[in-house]
Amino acid sequence: MPATNNSRLELLSEQDVVRARQAVRKLAQDNGFSLVEQTKLVTASSELARNTLIHGGGGYMELDVLREEGGRSGIRLRFVDDGPGIADMKLALTDGWTSGTGLGLGLTGSRRLASEFDIQSAPGQGTRVTIVRRK
């Protein structure tokens, strides 16, 4: 599946999280996503951008538009940090579990809002989360 419109946004401050949400919404609108699809993608991106900032110490988000044969398309978002990583992936992907003061819905909620969800993390190696939402 070819990707186009590759762009990257740094996630180093709370304002960057706001910019990330705005960029995702615009990309979804420009690519004909319905309001419901936009909301799901923006919500997931907000949670993952905040995780990148708070738990990963900052990083970046990559945005790609995916074009498949037959005219189907989607948006792929990748969140990357070089933070401490996730020691217990099973626990981190448990609904309601939180490593801080949040609601514990960031990873699990984002996974439910995406068409595809992939996470790679290990202690001392940072975290990479990739989501795809298709329309």
* Mean pLDDT on 37-63: 95
pLDDT on residue 103? 45
Report the share of the chain in percent with pLDDT over 70. 89
pLDDT on residue 4? 63
pLDDT on residue 24? 98
pLDDT at 98 over 80: no
Instruction: State the alpha helices, DSSP H only, in 33-105.
Output: 35-54, 89-92
Yes or no: say if 81 and 126 are a contact pair by the CB < 8 Å rule. Answer: yes
pLDDT on residue 79? 98
Mean pLDDT of the chain: 89
Distance CA 30, CA 127 (A): 29
pLDDT on residue 104? 45
pLDDT on residue 2? 58
Distance CA 49, CA 135 (A): 22
- Amino acid identity of residue 132, one-letter, is V
pLDDT on residue 38? 96
CATH label of the domain that carries residue 26: 3.30.565.10
Number of domains in the chain: 1
> Residue 131: beta bridge partners?
77, 117
DSSP 94: S
pLDDT at 123 over 70: yes
Q: Which tokens belong to 59?
A: 């990083």
pLDDT at 87 over 60: yes
pLDDT on residue 99? 62
Distance CA 84, CA 29 (A): 34
Domain that holds residue 108: 3-134
pLDDT band at residue 43 under the 50/70/90 scheme:
very high
